[in-house]
Amino acid sequence: MIESHTMRRRASLSLPIIRTARGQNRDGSLTLGGLLKALGETSFGWAIVLFSLVTLLPLPPGSSLITALPLLLTTGQMALGYPSVRLPGRLSRLKIDEPGLRRTVLRLSPITRRLERILDTRYESVFLDRQPQALGIVLFAISFALFLPVPLTGWFPAISLFVFGVGLMERDGLVAGIGLCLGMMSILLTAVMISSLAAAAETLVDWSRSAGAE
């Protein structure tokens, strides 16, 4: 029983996403909503894992303004107490690049392998009663940090959301807590970067005014 549980848990981290995406891509029907539905879940755990992977795809700078929208919607619904994820039609029909998604999943394999070794069902009280709504508020803030097109900050909140999503999926409060801690650090990093950019812009404006006055 323990061996069977371990095999099921490990497969849930990457294989279903890769296999389902490959199958849908052959049919020409690989979309965000279609992939989530085909995985057999509309739970917040699967959604956060999938959508955080999408934000890690190799896309042009500023793409997080688009790719982070499903995470903002999902975490917002979680904060509002929705029982499951509800994607609007436009987001549901958003096309996904299957080779890019596969490369992203494989690139994260060092993280997923470590998670697979420590995952267990524990500290489930984190997910009970009204806790998911409180978690949703924090996750929304992390998603908003990801949404902002701030240089050098996108990977950190996306990976923290991925780790939290895995913890939520497997009902592992410890792993979910690690994801939240990483997420809070990513918010702090984003705030520092924004402050630094604002200070640099202010300095540049002051310098331009001084040069113009001369």
Beta strands in the chain (DSSP E): none
Summarize the confidence of residues 168-183 as an average pLDDT.
91
Task: Give pTM, 2 decimals.
Answer: 0.80
Give the DSSP letter string of 141-196: HHHHHHHS--TT-SHHHHHHHHHHHHHHHTTBHHHHHHHHHHHHHHHHHHHHHHHH
Give SS3 for 96: coil
72 pLDDT band, cuts 50/70/90, is: very high
Percent of the chain scoring above 70 in pLDDT: 87
Residue ranges of domains in the chain:
30-206
The 10s digit of each residue's pLDDT in 102-126 is 888 888 888 888 888 888 888 888 8
Cα 116 from chain centre: 18
144 pLDDT band, cuts 50/70/90, is: very high
